[in-house]
Amino acid sequence: MPEPQRKTINQLLDEARSGLERVAPAELAELMGAGSGDGEPQLRVIDIRPRDDRERTGVIEGSEHIGQLVLEWRLDPDSGASEGTAADLDDHLVIVCNQGYSSSLAAAQLQELGFAHATDLDGGIECWIGHGLPVVPPRDAGGGQSA
């Protein structure tokens, strides 16, 4: 068996981002305000950050939380572990993390699973907040369950 070729995390990140049409904070705010029309793919903003991070900074209103470790399992309709969170392969999925690194890797992985419209928030929640866009407390703060 041939020896696997090593890549750095920066190389993996560059590869992941080369297939993404990353969404700027103002663009995402506009998309969320526009809503989905009949027959259009559903926009789903998915925050993959741990509870502590979401409680510390707040979340984008209307976003949903699916933990990074289970993201692919929860979204893939064929996984057997979606528990009501499966996505349609045509949905427009925007993944959110703190700074836009983990979300890029996650979105690229979702594209490999067939979610052609998976991408991420450029700069993460920190960039969203830096642009003066609003956040709200997470729904599961104070004891609710999260994936």
Mean pLDDT of 93-122: 97
Q: Per-residue pLDDT for 58 more than 80? A: yes
Angle at 61 between CA 57 and CA 64, to 5 degrees: 90
Look at residue 144 in the predicted model and tell me its pLDDT: 36
Share of the chain above pLDDT 90, in %: 75
Whether 140 shows a pLDDT value over 70: the answer reads: no
Six token digits for residue 113: 């699973």
- Assign residue 86 the CATH number of its domain: 3.40.250.10
Q: How far apart are CA 107 and CA 126, in angstroms?
A: 18
Q: Quote the distance between the C-alpha of residue 48 and its chain's center.
A: 6
Residue 35 has pLDDT above 80, yes or no: no
The number of folded domains in the chain is 1
pLDDT of 112: 96
Does residue 18 sit within a domain?
A: no
| Cβ burial, residue 37 (10 Å; 0-12/13-18/19+) | exposed
Is there a domain that residue 145 lies in?
A: no
pLDDT of residue 147 exceeding 70:
no
CA 40 → CA 35, 43, 125, 129, distances in Å? 10, 9, 26, 28
What is the reported pTM? 0.88
Range of the domain at 112: 23-130
Give a yes or no: residue 17 inside a domain. Answer: no
pLDDT higher than 70, residue 37: no
Residue 110 lies in a domain: yes
Q: How far apart are CA 78 and CA 61, in angstroms?
A: 28
The pLDDT assigned to 81 comes to 87
pLDDT digits (tens, 9 = 90+) for 1-20: 888 889 999 999 999 999 99
The answer to whether residue 140 is domain-embedded is no
Arithmetic mean of pLDDT, 59-64 = 96
In a domain, 137, yes or no: no
pLDDT, greater one: 22 or 84: 22
Dmax (CA) of the chain: 52
